[in-house]
Amino acid sequence: MALLTPATGSAACVTAADLAQGIRVDKDTGSFEIYRTLRPGVVGLTIWYDDQTGSEVELAKGLYSLGFTDFFAGEADPETRTTFTYPMAPDDMPLPVAQGGWQTNSSVAQPAGRYEKTLSATWGQLDNISVNGCTYATISGSLRYISEGYSTEEGLIYLPDLGVSSMLYFTDAESDAPLPQKITSISVVTGP
């Protein structure tokens, strides 16, 4: 599936091996994401919406949320801590397959209590994007989280060459129509 191809004379393309040091994905909104391997099968994601606001997320296979905490003014807000438990280990969760999908149940724990959700993943065609002179394979898709009377949807782009997914939009019943973000840069993190 690897489509990594550097343009002539350009630096090497970012790969999944760079997760050990960290991969940075910049968006056209000014936000950026940093992905790092936390443990086998689990990727840590830090999303910076601006210089003081963001989220810390643990992703099974760089894709499915195992938990997150939002931070404001540079400080984690414990009231936002959310964890997801699935009926399979993170390593057993499926990777996206073009034109495929799957569904499972999850148990969600927050400071206010526990509830059940259904995760429904739907994937589109295999495609590619060119960023920083490199071409990366992509599979666009969506993750819908459905609970009694409420649902949310994350529009994603999965980058198999990197082993991560990047959220392009989020929507729920209270949101206006989402404006998808675009990836403008992919690089290896330099420094801590």
| Cβ density class 129-164: b for 16+ within 10 Å, e for less | bebbebbbbbbbbbbbbbeeeeebbbbbbbbbbbbb
Q: How far apart are the C-alpha atoms of 40 and 89, rounded to whole Å?
A: 11
What is the model's pTM?
Answer: 0.88
| Cβ density class 100-111: b for 16+ within 10 Å, e for less | eeeeeebebeee
Per-residue pLDDT averaged across 1-11, rounded? 44
Condensed to tens digits (0 to 9), the pLDDT of residues 11-32 reads: 689 999 999 999 999 999 899 9
**Cβ proximity of 55 and 69 under 8 Å:** yes
**Cβ proximity of 17 and 2 under 8 Å:** no
pLDDT band (50, 70, 90) for residue 192: low
Q: Return the percentage of the chain with pLDDT > 70, whole number.
A: 92
Structural domains for the chain: 5-188 (2.40.360)
Q: How far apart are the C-alpha atoms of 28 and 69, rounded to whole Å?
A: 24
Condensed to tens digits (0 to 9), the pLDDT of residues 135-157 reads: 999 999 999 988 887 888 889 99
Residue in the structure block whose two tokens are 């210089």: 51
